[in-house]
Amino acid sequence: MLSGAALRKTGSGWEFASELALEDFIWEKLSQLFKLTPLKRQHPAKGEYCDILAVDDKKQLTIIELKNTEDRYLVQQLTRYYDNLVDEKPFSEQIDYNRPINLIGIAPSFHRHNHIDRKYNLLKIDFLELAVLQKNQKFKLNLKDVDTSQTWSINIPYKEIDFSKFSQDIPEPPQKLLDWLGSCSGDEQLAIIKMREKILNFDKRIKETIESRNIIRYGKGKTKAVAEICYHQSSSNPIIFLWLPTPTSRKREVIGRLRLWLDGSTVTYVGHIASGFGRMKLPSEWDAMPREKRPKYMFRSGSYRSYLPIPIPKGYKNTSNKLEALTDLALTKWLKKVQ
């Protein structure tokens, strides 16, 4: 399953689960769609961030602005990005600024203000209307130029989950959870659904409770939790927490709320976060930030004070790095706590 191929069902069809998911997919498919070479995502220019910068084989720059819903300010954004880049001229070795710059807006529909703004704009801006099409079990991204009707089409490696294959002894997943899962890859969706099934089938005392608009908790009451699925709005992703032995436990075992970083069904990192989402980031995320914006002290202890999670299997030497195995471990610890 291609990372970023994250869809969700709507009343009238399908759409990308978030603007980030759409950006991930377009970025990975720039060459196949437009014969462009990816250059930079979310490039900062005078305090604004360009979604995608790409170049062709003649070093001609293309600026792409993406919208997952209709937005009336798309033309204004592209105009500012154009001006900022022409003024700063970043990536001058890869970009020939003597050539015209292509400006492309991609959205499911274009507000009438977009058309008015473009009509009186001196720059040439292409509008590509996007649609996610489903035929049988296959999905496709379709882009259509609103002016010329030229189309681009590419398969989306997404597979809808068949819930009839899962246990009929537990309630169907709440719609809130299904909406959240739309931003995950197919492998992660399946792993999380299997985790939920395992937890709810383990003990009748374990209940699934929607604690708030962003939290679904599994356990007995408020003090005997085994797992949480929390929706992280800024990344548009569900985050998994399990109550497991903390990685820093030495002389005696301490059970804590641990965040899990997933790659499909594999847990790559764990971090002890007592509440909320914490401040931990993956090493790659810190590396992407300017050095002056990183924390002064990067604790590597794995405690709740740490800025870095611990890689698996370092955190659990005798446990598999699969979500299923860590769920089994969490359930075993939960059972000891409630007995």
Residues in the chain: 339
> Mean pLDDT over residues 253-277, rounded?
92
Output the six-digit token pair for 155.
């398969």
Long-range (24+ apart) CB contacts under 8 A made by 18-23 are: 18/68, 18/183, 18/236, 19/66, 19/67, 19/68, 19/236, 20/183, 20/235, 20/236, 21/68, 21/183, 21/236, 22/66, 22/68, 22/106, 22/130, 23/51, 23/52, 23/66
pLDDT tens for 92-148 read 999 999 999 999 999 999 999 999 999 999 999 999 999 999 988 889 999 999 999
Domains delineated in the chain: 7-156 (3.40.1350.10), 163-338 (no CATH)
Identify the pLDDT of residue 322: 93
Q: What confidence category does residue 1 fall into, taking pLDDT thresholds of 50, 70 and 90?
A: very low
Per-residue confidence at 304, pLDDT binned at 50, 70, 90? low
According to DSSP, the residues that pair with 207 across neighbouring strands are 219
Instruction: State the pLDDT confidence band at 58, using cuts at 50, 70 and 90.
Output: very high
pLDDT digits (tens, 9 = 90+) for 8-55: 878 788 998 888 889 989 999 999 999 999 999 999 989 899 999 999
Q: Is a pLDDT exceeding 90 seen at residue 335? A: yes
Q: Please state, rounded to an integer, the average pLDDT across all residues of the chain.
A: 89
Kindly report the pTM of this predicted structure.
0.66
- For 326, residues 6+ apart whose C-beta sits below 8 A from its C-beta are 242, 244, 260, 267, 316, 319, 320
User: What is the mean pLDDT of the segment spanning 275-295?
Assistant: 82
Quote the tokens at residue 276. 């909320």
What is the C-alpha to C-alpha distance for residues 243 and 84, in angstroms, rounded to an integer? 48
What does DSSP say about strands 237-245 and 138-145: parallel, antiparallel, or unpaired? unpaired
Looking at per-residue pLDDT, the higher value among 160 and 156 belongs to 156
More confident residue, 324 or 319: 324
Confidence of residue 3 (pLDDT cuts 50, 70, 90): very low
Greater confidence (168 vs 98) lies with 98
